[in-house]
Structure 1
């Protein structure tokens, strides 16, 4: 069996219990260390409260792993900061309000790119990481917004007079890939 330290999804996570349930592993963990306020970036040592986050993580031996993570709320003591109470950020572990770890969400994105929605849902179920087709497509849309597409080397065409403005202009890719782009021109 793995040691408790190897069950931890990140550095600032302290695992204190690992239990085998009927159809899943349950990892009980808590965050440790002092966080920075996301509003003003000052270190906070004033704890407000704690709450339980349930995260789905990568499976072990084909069995689902759920992390019950005790996360903490903190007070920001900076009087100039608008945020009085904040929750710990877990970069690299989970996004705010997420129910799956970043590692699982990256796999959801990759499987969504290769298989699509419903086939990806069936594939994720077989990998012991259940995710709906809507979740897979939502993750793809989110990834497309976060990562802008690379720009092609299309040349801008400026036309000097309004008489020369065509209705549509065909611009081909400089790499001769056969990609044709229609761009509607508007004269300013």
Structure 2
């Protein structure tokens, strides 16, 4: 149903009038630093992000994603810590999933009926 959740552990899902809410976290043991690419498994902290995703069955989907902030082990790196991203789902500072952003971009590029680009 939601193939992009393949790299996640889904703790639970709730269906309500407002839509579907999926509570998930990464299944990865660590992440590479976004600046220097040095691998880290040492967790600094955790926090929750809310990511809007493409609708399923006409219902809006929100992924409540628990992400980890890792320490970078490279002393020469400018980033002391960094936040994990879920490949194919999340990007830095985004509140919409990668697939939803792609869909919205396509909708924005569709010409109005009878009008050419």
Normalised by the shorter chain, which TM-score bucket?
0.7 to 0.9
Q: Which stretch of structure 1 is more off in the superposition, 86-95 or 75-84?
A: 86-95
TM-score of the aligned structures, taking structure 1 as reference length: 0.55
Q: More strand per residue: 1 or 2?
A: 2
1:9 corresponds to: 4
Answer yes or no: is 1:62 the counterpart of 2:50.
no
Q: How does 1:126-141 map to 2 (within 5 A)?
A: none
Cα distance 1:74–1:11, how it changes in 2: closer, same or farther (>3 A)?
Answer: same
Q: Which stretch of structure 1 is more off in the superposition, 107-116 or 72-81?
A: 107-116
Q: More helix per residue: 1 or 2?
A: 1
Task: Give the secondary structure class of the aligned counterpart of 2:39.
Answer: coil
2:110 corresponds to: 114
Q: How does 1:101-180 map to 2 (within 5 A)?
A: 101-115=97-111
> Aligned partners of 1:11 and 1:61: how far apart in 2?
19
Checking the alignment, whether the CA contact within 8 Å between 1:7 and 1:15 is kept in structure 2 is: no
Q: CA deviation at 1:112?
A: 0.3
Q: CA deviation at 1:104?
A: 0.7
Q: Which runs of 5+ in 2 are unaligned?
A: 113-117
Instruction: Compare CA radii of gyration and give the structure with the larger one.
Output: 1
Q: Which runs of 5+ in 1 are unaligned?
A: 1-5, 117-188
1:142 corresponds to: none
Q: CA deviation at 1:69?
A: 0.4
Count how many residue pairs are aligned between Structure 1 and Structure 2. Answer: 111
RMSD after superposition: 1.6
Name the structure, 1 or 2, with higher relative contact order (CA <8 Å, separation 6+). 2
TM-score of the aligned structures, taking structure 2 as reference length: 0.86
> Aligned partners of 2:49 and 2:3: how far apart in 1?
14
